[in-house]
């Protein structure tokens, strides 16, 4: 199919899949494989890679037909890093062999992905990263360094990895992008206990990890350009998620307000109404952003959406704790768990309040996102930088 594919074409193809693989009697994995092979996984991807080369906006047509039929999905929350970050980057910059090898098991959820970007000394200033990749005489790479704040590293099979391959050029120019096997010798994953008591994140140590050159994504030294594709998609996937009205953080607060009239005050009512309106504006803005995505790759607008998402979550969760008074301080699960998913709505108000603090760090700190919005959306001048043209090896650390 081509860009001329219509909604009716996709409905017919989806119904044919459902007739051939009735969800009630078909094994979940078999159904998902058949869906991918029919081009109905992500319809805007090319044929043979789970898509049909159709307009991205038509994915909603397929999803609606499958949901109405009770068809299984690919558990997108569990594999969100793969779907939202690794896949679009591999599609944009990968070789035909890389696309063929990685995209199908990624979408099926057979291989979980994580992101090895941030480091103890390179978080907000990601381009200052120091993990080193050295090429050997056979053309392959040996990687040594440390990464931090890595979601899903304890369950991941693969990772998207940034490493420095040339310390003698300015920091943005000496980085290369790799696909790293998390089961390779030299990869060590350690849990990071958070303020919630969980170990959702990890630190990852890479000691002489061998990566074949076939798992390099993009050209040597062009990793920053490749990483920008990942980062823009990451911010959209965090801040631009599709939600119903009163989805996300605002839902539990509104439900408590309706169910517990004894907790209400005039001031809390006024503040809750304001946050409800802001949450609805953010939801509709995210819908518009997804519509823009149908026309191409995400731009800097996703940074603004993610910035609003973080700030709003923190204000809503703080109001919820205040609304519940003494109850809001209760948090009954300090177990050292290592969850596969983050569940904001199925936990205590105290958990939501604590976990929301991370929203302004993950996917790019709010301070970095403010700079992106200022420079690339509003067109304001950039802050002066005296290290832009210095070789990485000469930077103060």
The region that residue 243 occupies, defined by phi over 0 for left and psi between -120 and 50 for alpha, beta otherwise, is beta
Q: Exposure of 292 by Cβ count < 10 A (0-12 exposed, 13-18 middle, 19+ buried)?
A: middle
Q: What are phi and psi of 387, to 5 degrees?
A: -110, 5
Q: Exposure of 125 by Cβ count < 10 A (0-12 exposed, 13-18 middle, 19+ buried)?
A: middle
Please tell me whether residue 188 adopts helix, strand or coil conformation: strand
Select from 366, 122, 352 the least CA-distant residue to 252: 352
In the residue annotation, 234 being an active-site residue is answered as yes
In sequence order, the 6+-apart residues with CB closer than 8 A to the CB of 324 are 256, 263, 349
Q: What are phi and psi of 40, to 5 degrees?
A: -110, 10
Select from 160, 6, 171, 28 the least CA-distant residue to 93: 160
In sequence order, the 6+-apart residues with CB closer than 8 A to the CB of 26 are 34
The catalytic residue among 234, 262, 278, 327 is 234
* CB distance 114 to 137 below 8 Å: no
- Catalytic residues, by residue number, are 234
């Amino acid at each position: 199919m081509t860009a001329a594919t219509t909604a009716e074409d996709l409905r017919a193809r989806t119904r044919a899949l459902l007739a051939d693989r009735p969800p009630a009697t078909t094994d979940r994995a078999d159904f998902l494989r058949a869906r991918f092979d029919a081009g109905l996984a992500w319809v805007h991807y090319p044929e043979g890679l789970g898509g049909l080369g159709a307009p991205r906006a038509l994915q909603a047509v397929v999803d609606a037909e499958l949901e109405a039929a009770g068809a299984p999905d690919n558990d997108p929350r569990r594999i969100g890093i793969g779907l939202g970050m690794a896949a679009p980057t591999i599609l944009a910059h990968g070789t035909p062999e890389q696309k063929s090898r990685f995209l199908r098991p990624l979408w099926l959820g057979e291989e979980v992905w994580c992101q090895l970007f941030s480091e103890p000394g390179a978080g907000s200033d990601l381009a200052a990263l120091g993990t080193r990749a050295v090429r050997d005489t056979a053309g392959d790479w040996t990687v040594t360094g440390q990464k931090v704040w890595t979601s899903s590293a304890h369950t991941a099979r693969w990772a998207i990895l940034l490493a420095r391959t040339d310390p003698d050029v300015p920091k943005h120019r000496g980085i290369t992008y790799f696909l790293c096997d998390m089961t390779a010798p030299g990869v060590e994953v350690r849990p990071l206990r958070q303020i919630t008591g969980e170990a959702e994140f990890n630190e990852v140590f890479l000691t002489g990890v061998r990566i074949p050159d076939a798992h390099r994504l993009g050209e040597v030294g062009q990793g920053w350009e490749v990483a920008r594709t990942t980062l823009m998609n990451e911010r959209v996937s965090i801040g631009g998620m599709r939600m119903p009205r009163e989805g996300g953080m605002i839902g539990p607060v509104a439900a408590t307000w309706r169910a517990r009239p004894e907790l209400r005050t005039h001031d809390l009512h006024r503040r809750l109404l304001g946050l409800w309106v802001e949450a609805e504006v953010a939801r509709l803005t995210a819908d518009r952003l997804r519509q823009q995505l149908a026309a191409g790759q995400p731009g800097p607008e996703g940074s603004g959406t993610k910035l609003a998402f973080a700030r709003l979550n923190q204000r809503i969760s703080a109001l919820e704790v205040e609304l519940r008074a003494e109850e809001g301080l209760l948090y009954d699960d300090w177990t050292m768990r290592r969850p596969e998913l983050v569940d904001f709505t199925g936990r205590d108000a105290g958990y939501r309040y604590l976990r929301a603090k991370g929203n302004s760090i993950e996917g790019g700190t709010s301070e970095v996102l403010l700079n992106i919005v200022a420079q690339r959306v509003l067109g304001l001048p950039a802050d002066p930088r005296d290290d832009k043209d210095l070789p990485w090896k000469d930077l103060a650390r």
